[in-house]
Amino acid sequence: LAKTTQPISMDSYEGQEVNITCSHNNIATNDYITWYQQFPSQGPRFIIQGYKTKVTNEVASLFIPADRKSSTLSLPRVSLSDTAVYYCLVGGPNTGGFKTIFGAGTRLFVKA
Amino acid sequence: AAGVIQSPRHLIKEKRETATLKCYPIPRHDTVYWYQQGPGQDPQFLISFYEKMQSDKGSIPDRFSAQQFSDYHSELNMSSLELGDSALYFCASSLRTSRADTQYFGPGTRLTVL
């Protein structure tokens, strides 16, 4: 399974764009990159998933360069309610089965 | 939309007792995952099931066992409870595809061992 590395924490202010980068140097050909958000005492919540280039949905964008060794989650115009832990996961159906490994996520603090 | 249901939501046990946590996946989902999350820690994968068969195993203690039943609900059985087992236990379900799973998590069961 590909190991991921993210910043331990980040601070931002309301209305700013936040970019969280995840490194996954040994990503396999069939691996996808998935991001989850977790609030205290709640289960993680799926945000976005991608394989290459750029993916956008109603809450975030995911940028994946051609070598796929990193990815960046972009949160536009964050609000206080975006304060949470964000996890980057890398895996797929042909890499270690579906043993999901949550690494150390990024704790995002959004200030007023 | 239906979500993952976990019961009970809170559970208090004494050391050396047993506990059973239940998980009801989203209808038509074929894969169930169990995670343990201690205070201030990241979720730790315990075990997963696909179509009622064990799929993968993580850091699940030998004192714990789990299974998925014919109706796809799953139970995590924990015996000889220790203080260190106090944690949030999450169940997640997904529909296995050719891509990476998108897991939908339940609200969790908070287990306190006294």
- Tell me how far apart the alpha carbons of residues B107 and B90 are, in angstroms, rounded to a whole number: 7
Q: What number of other Cβ atoms are within 10 A of residue A21's Cβ?
A: 15
pLDDT tens digits for A49-96?
999 999 999 999 999 999 999 999 999 999 999 999 999 998 876 554
Would an 8 Å CB–CB cutoff place A67 in contact with chain B?
no
- Identify all chain A residues contacting B45, using CB atoms and an 8 Å cutoff: 99-102
Q: Specify the pLDDT at position A28.
A: 86
- Tell me how far apart the alpha carbons of residues A27 and A32 are, in angstroms, rounded to a whole number: 9
Q: Specify the pLDDT at position A98.
A: 55
Average pLDDT over all residues of chain B: 93
Q: Specify the pLDDT at position A2.
A: 67
Would an 8 Å CB–CB cutoff place A91 in contact with chain B?
yes
| The token pair that represents B64 in the structure block | 């714990």
Segment 6-35 of chain B within 8 Å of chain A by CB = 31, 33, 35
Contact A46 B103 (CB under 8 A): yes
